[in-house]
A and B are shown apart, each in its own frame.
Chain A
Amino acid sequence: MGKGLQKKLQEAVRKLSYRTSVDQLKQRGISKVNVVGLDRIVALVETAVHRTLRARMQGFQGLDGLGPNAERGSIAEDARDEFLRLLRSNEKLEQVHQEVKAEKDELESEIDMMRLELLELRKAVNERRDKVEMEERIRVAETDADLFAELEGLFSQAGRADLFEQVRDIMATRLMSERHLLNEARKAEHKGEVDLLERRIEKLTSTLQNTEAQLVSALDSKDVDQGISSIYREVQGISDKDVFFQKKKGLMASIFEANLALHDELHKAP
């Protein structure tokens, strides 16, 4: 590769990268990062050059016969273009990943807010019910105590204290029945308010379910993690230039035979 090409590649990598420190990453809540090593970049460049050379090799006897500088320059240009294309495809993937991540974060925060609101509403409804019940119990107890004390005084004054307990029981039963009717009327009065709160709960629950479904489908539909491309476009095999070609060929055959027997066993098993 010429120095000019190397410089352009370095510039391309520099343009696509940014500087940051471990402390800055920590401040952003990032504890793990994906690192693209020099070997990965070199592998990308090698693949690009390899592919381009292979396409161009048809007219040549071999690398030694490349000849004219102009032709080599052209190959280098093509290699650079291929490298930039690979980098751009990685950049595009990263961009999609960031978009989906932002959408996911937004939906998750929306869901959290809704959950919180739902919780608050349920709490408010329960508190209101408890409060009404408690107030009623206190009021009834106070009223009954006053009433029965007054009655007991009156019966004593009239010299018929013996009748007090009977009258008190009859009154207590009647009062209970009247109170029940009154409670129903009161509940009907509050019903509007409680119904409104319950309708809001129902609506929020349904929105929450929809948003959660939306989140799942957002993660499913967009191919967040498309994976990392292999450097090979087709099945390889031992290079015939390998110094151990024959030996390795024999070893590959042995490994295959052992595995074939194993596969057969596996498929025979019930």
Chain B
Amino acid sequence: MSKEEKEKPAEEASHKDHGVLYIGVDLGTSRTSVSASNGVRETLLSVVGYPRDVVSQKLLKKDVLIGEEAVEKRMSLNFYRPLEHGVLKTSENGADDAEGNKRAATDLLKAAIASAQPRTDELVYAVIGAPAQASIHNKKAILAAASECVDSVMLCSEPFAVAYGLDWLEDVLVVDIGAGTADLCRMHGTMPEDTDQVTLTQAGDFIDKALYDAIKAAHPEAQFTINMIKNIKEKFAYVHGQSEAIKVDLPVEGKPIEFDLTELVIDNCKKIIPPIVDGLHKLIASYDPEFQHKLRNRVLLAGGGSQIRGLDRAIEDEMKERLGGGRVVRIEEPIYGGSNGALKIAHDMPAEFWEKLK
């Protein structure tokens, strides 16, 4: 690095005298949530689109479209979902068009940071929640993308951020159910290690796919997309207790017909419960025997996937049957649990640490 390059950030920093904006980001496969110390909270779909040709570019008047806007205009775009199973699609995990996905991930992160509406005269310090078992290569890619738009950035494990945000630092098991992965993390007062974390691919996308296949098999005449199934799940899904029948209109040869999907939705949403309880079992069984009962009774459910109604009770039932009991608490704001926690970590990080990472 040349002397000029080294001096530039310091020069820029000297103009950033208005204040410090902390940003917490939960970079998810399906949604990216942002919480900032200026009161902004935003969530955007983790999709990016680029105009296909000059005509689309002129029509859309933009070079990059993010989130809902990209979904709406997807027919005129080269469309990217830069994350899969909770991690960036890179050449390392054999993704097609790794370069395109890398560019999309950078643009997604930039849009996420911009959505916090930072002032140009404020220092921007960000903590990004990365999947518990993301590879070094993947973490480096996230860091490189984020450091382009903030003054200093750190990564932390997503489930750890959730627990930290709620001050649950000891004898806690966090289950963070996202779209791509369900991350389980054991908190014991110190930084969780690899042995404290379990990542499962049975999460939101897994349910969508299973439900899609099941409806296709049961009602081959119905026309639908995976996106429609995801919307049905988000609107109606429940897995415990009695609730209303799930009746949904789906087109059959262009005409909307009502289908009763109650059993299909319940059965397929329940499919994530056994692997989650397997993971909990593994983490509880390998914990200090004196404190295992505490761990079993302090399971924290977070992430967008935890919004399936009755999931906490259904996991408790499964734990009772297989682990002899347990208590599951769902956090109040599943969508912002990770970003709120990351924001709290950013707030608590001492100044000298931020400085050293600039």
A positions within 8 Å CB-CB of B: 37, 39-40, 43, 223, 225-238, 244, 247-248, 250-256, 258-260, 262-263, 265-266, 269
Say which size band chain B's interface belongs to: 35 or more
B positions within 8 Å CB-CB of A: 18-22, 36-40, 117-120, 122-123, 125, 136, 139-140, 143-144, 154-156, 164, 167, 169-170, 189-191, 345, 347-351, 353-354, 356-357
CB of B119 within 8 A of CB of A247, answer no
User: What is the chain A residue whose CB lies nearest that of B346?
Assistant: A236
Nearest CB of A to B159, in Å: 14
User: What is the chain A residue whose CB lies nearest that of B41?
Assistant: A37
In the bound complex, residues from chain B placing their C-beta under 8 Å from that of A233 are 18-20
Q: Given A228-B119, A259-B357, answer yes or no on A234-B40 (Cβ-Cβ < 8 Å).
A: no
Q: Given A233-B19, A266-B140, answer yes or no on A227-B117 (Cβ-Cβ < 8 Å).
A: yes
CB of B348 within 8 A of CB of A236, answer yes
CA distance A238 to B354 in the complex (A): 14
Q: Is the interface of B mostly helix, strand, loop or mixed?
A: mixed
CA distance A235 to B190 in the complex (A): 24
CB of A238 within 8 A of CB of B348, answer yes
In the bound complex, residues from chain B placing their C-beta under 8 Å from that of A237 are 347-351
CB of A265 within 8 A of CB of B190, answer no
CB of B19 within 8 A of CB of A255, answer no
CB of B118 within 8 A of CB of A265, answer no
CB contact between B143 and one of A248, A252, A253, A262 (< 8 Å): that residue = A262
- A sample of 17 more A-B contacts (CB under 8 A), given A227-B122, A247-B189, A260-B356, is A39-B39, A227-B38, A230-B20, A230-B36, A232-B19, A233-B20, A234-B20, A236-B347, A237-B347, A237-B349, A238-B350, A252-B350, A254-B191, A255-B349, A259-B154, A259-B155, A262-B139
CB of A231 within 8 A of CB of B154, answer no
In the bound complex, residues from chain A placing their C-beta under 8 Å from that of B348 are 236-238, 248, 252
In the bound complex, residues from chain A placing their C-beta under 8 Å from that of B164 are 251
CB of A255 within 8 A of CB of B191, answer yes
What are 10 of the A-B contact pairs (CB < 8 Å)?
Answer: A227-B120, A228-B119, A229-B19, A230-B122, A231-B39, A232-B19, A235-B354, A238-B350, A260-B357, A266-B143
Q: Given A37-B39, A235-B351, A259-B155, answer yes or no on A244-B140 (Cβ-Cβ < 8 Å).
A: no
In the bound complex, residues from chain A placing their C-beta under 8 Å from that of B39 are 37, 39-40, 43, 228, 231
CB of B136 within 8 A of CB of A265, answer yes
In the bound complex, residues from chain B placing their C-beta under 8 Å from that of A225 are 117
Nearest CB of A to B211, in Å: 31
CB of A252 within 8 A of CB of B120, answer no
Nearest CB of B to A245, in Å: 10
Nearest CB of A to B131, in Å: 14
Nearest CB of B to A168, in Å: 52
